[in-house]
Chains A and B, each alone.
Chain A
Amino acid sequence: MVEADGNASLAIAVRGLTKTYGAQVILRDLDLRVAWGDFLTVFGPNGAGKTTLMKVLATLSRPTKGEVRVAGFDLSKNPAAIRRNIGVVTHQPLLYGDLTAFENLSFQGRMFGLEQLEERIERTAGLMGIGRYLGHKVDTLSHGMQKRVSLARAILHDPPVLLLDEPETGLDQEALSMLAEVVVSGERGRRTVLMVTHSLERGLALSNRVAILTGGKIAYQEERALVDEAGFKVAYSRFTGVTL
């Protein structure tokens, strides 16, 4: 699915990204590099710019300045190709409550032009443990089950890159395990994941790289294996002035 229009040695490459809303600077000359197969968790206090960064990477918001490449595609030139290669999970389920889970997934599949859609839906639903609920209207499902459908929606087109904005909200322990195993493992190997979260425990458990975003910049980035929880808390406090 990844048909890079240039250098695709990195799954996500951001250089000098600035995003402003009027006079307010949200992201400030931000640089970020995520290699293929990495699971990077970005932590940061409220207002640090985490959601704005995710929106820019997801093509929902235009950068004011800077270069952004996702899955090898230039955001300014080929945003549709980026959308084809990313799966996005946000706090909101992005589902139609009056439609069934199957209808929601079918609609998503048709918007992506997927073939053998029914098989694909059955397979993805099986992976996410929602097979029994496919015929249920989304509004009648529990919050946790809606979140699972939302995860299924995000991986239905088997994207190589996942953008997860606090995906753990509303998920039970079983679903969290799925997030770590099923969601991250695609049909064509391990997906690249960029996750923002407030859950230190979950973020450290899932990722192989961690970063701290504060004041609109990546202030800290490290291999997960090289930092323990206590050390990360010290770094977080030093860069953000907030104690975890």
Chain B
Amino acid sequence: MTGFWATVSALVWKDIRAELRTKDVVISVLTFALLSLVIFNFALRPSPQVIPIVAPGVLWVAFTFAGVLGLTRTFVLEKDRGNLEGLLLTPTSREAIYVGKMLGSLVFMLVAEVVVLPLFAVLFNLSPFRPGLLLVMLLTTIGFTAVGTLFSAIAINTRSREIMLPMLLLPLVVPVIIAAVVASGTALEGGSWSEMAKWLQLIAVFDVLALVFSAFAFEQVLQE
């Protein structure tokens, strides 16, 4: 394994190992997502005709706000004990630190999303384990965590970091979340790949731009 990927894997494993002991991120993300689904389900009481219309939106509201919660925790754990400084004192590239932290967040979010899906299926009487929906979830979560990791690093140095992250992140990810809602709806209704193609392309382009820009901007964000 090359230096870059060895560093990335060390960072991801460190985060996973710490998370397995504390379960801070996954539990908070899961709890929030599950509660959102339950509350929406009871509040909307959707009829079978309405379910395909509202369910994708409900799912992505739950994923988005739970994801913000998880991303806030990502850097709090590094910052509060001075560990971010410790990371910056190593000779590893800032891009590797960014990719490592981003992949860690991606794993936690995907785990939470996959755990949430069965409850979503029960509450909304849908079959969500469709390749189309899973691909939308994967691509959207990549873009979300790509931008979210950068903004989490920015927000961590501000006084009101819990408020700052959603304020910075949500306006930027709204287009990709809208694309995800539409594509998810198509997938849940059993639509074809060609019907989803333009939304998947939009999300994929967002992912590439988010990853490239965030990786370059990360060093500037961390430098005092």
Give residues in A with beta carbon < 8 Å to B. 55, 58-62, 80-81, 83-84, 86, 88, 90, 92-99, 103, 107-108, 110-113, 137, 153
> How many residue pairs, one in A and one in B, have C-beta atoms under 8 Å apart?
73
In the assembled complex, which residues on chain A have CB atoms less than 8 Å from the CB atom of B21? Answer: 98-99, 137
With beta carbons under 8 angstroms apart, the residue of B17, B81, B91 that contacts A80 is: B91
Q: How far apart sit A92 and B89, CA to CA, in the bound complex (Å)?
A: 13
Would you call the interface of chain B mostly helix, strand, loop, or mixed? helix
Q: Interface digits, B78-110 against A, CB 8 Å rule (1 contact, 0 not)?
A: 000111011111111100000000000000000
B198 within 8 A of A: no
In angstroms, how far is the closest chain B Cβ from the Cβ of A111?
4
In the assembled complex, which residues on chain B have CB atoms less than 8 Å from the CB atom of A80? Answer: 91-93
Please state if B82 and A110 are interface contacts (CB–CB under 8 Å): no
In angstroms, how far is the closest chain A Cβ from the Cβ of B73?
13
Residue of A at shortest CB range from B93? A80
Please state if A97 and B224 are interface contacts (CB–CB under 8 Å): no
Please state if B82 and A61 are interface contacts (CB–CB under 8 Å): no
Please state if B6 and A92 are interface contacts (CB–CB under 8 Å): no
B192 within 8 A of A: no
With beta carbons under 8 angstroms apart, the residue of A55, A58, A98, A112 that contacts B91 is: A112
In angstroms, how far is the closest chain A Cβ from the Cβ of B20?
9
Q: Of residues 1 to 44 in B, which have CB atoms within 8 Å of A's CB atoms? A: 3, 6-7, 10-11, 14, 17-18, 21-22
In angstroms, how far is the closest chain A Cβ from the Cβ of B3?
6
Chosen A-B contacts, 29 in total, with CB atoms closer than 8 Å, are A58-B89, A59-B88, A59-B89, A61-B224, A62-B223, A62-B224, A80-B93, A83-B90, A83-B91, A84-B91, A86-B89, A94-B83, A95-B81, A95-B86, A96-B14, A96-B81, A98-B21, A98-B22, A99-B21, A107-B14, A108-B86, A110-B6, A110-B7, A111-B7, A111-B11, A111-B92, A112-B90, A113-B7, A137-B21
Please state if B82 and A93 are interface contacts (CB–CB under 8 Å): yes
Residue of A at shortest CB range from B3? A113
In the assembled complex, which residues on chain B have CB atoms less than 8 Å from the CB atom of A97? Answer: 81
Residue of A at shortest CB range from B82? A92
Please state if A60 and B89 are interface contacts (CB–CB under 8 Å): yes
Please state if B83 and A96 are interface contacts (CB–CB under 8 Å): yes
Q: How far apart sit A86 and B89, CA to CA, in the bound complex (Å)?
A: 9
Q: How far apart sit A92 and B82, CA to CA, in the bound complex (Å)?
A: 6
Q: How far apart sit A62 and B6, CA to CA, in the bound complex (Å)?
A: 27
In angstroms, how far is the closest chain B Cβ from the Cβ of A123?
20
Please state if A111 and B10 are interface contacts (CB–CB under 8 Å): yes
Residue of A at shortest CB range from B88? A60
Q: How far apart sit A96 and B17, CA to CA, in the bound complex (Å)?
A: 11
**Closest 8 A/B residue pairs (Cβ):** A92-B82, A94-B86, A110-B10, A111-B90, A83-B91, A84-B91, A61-B224, A80-B91
Please state if B85 and A90 are interface contacts (CB–CB under 8 Å): yes
Residue of A at shortest CB range from B222? A60
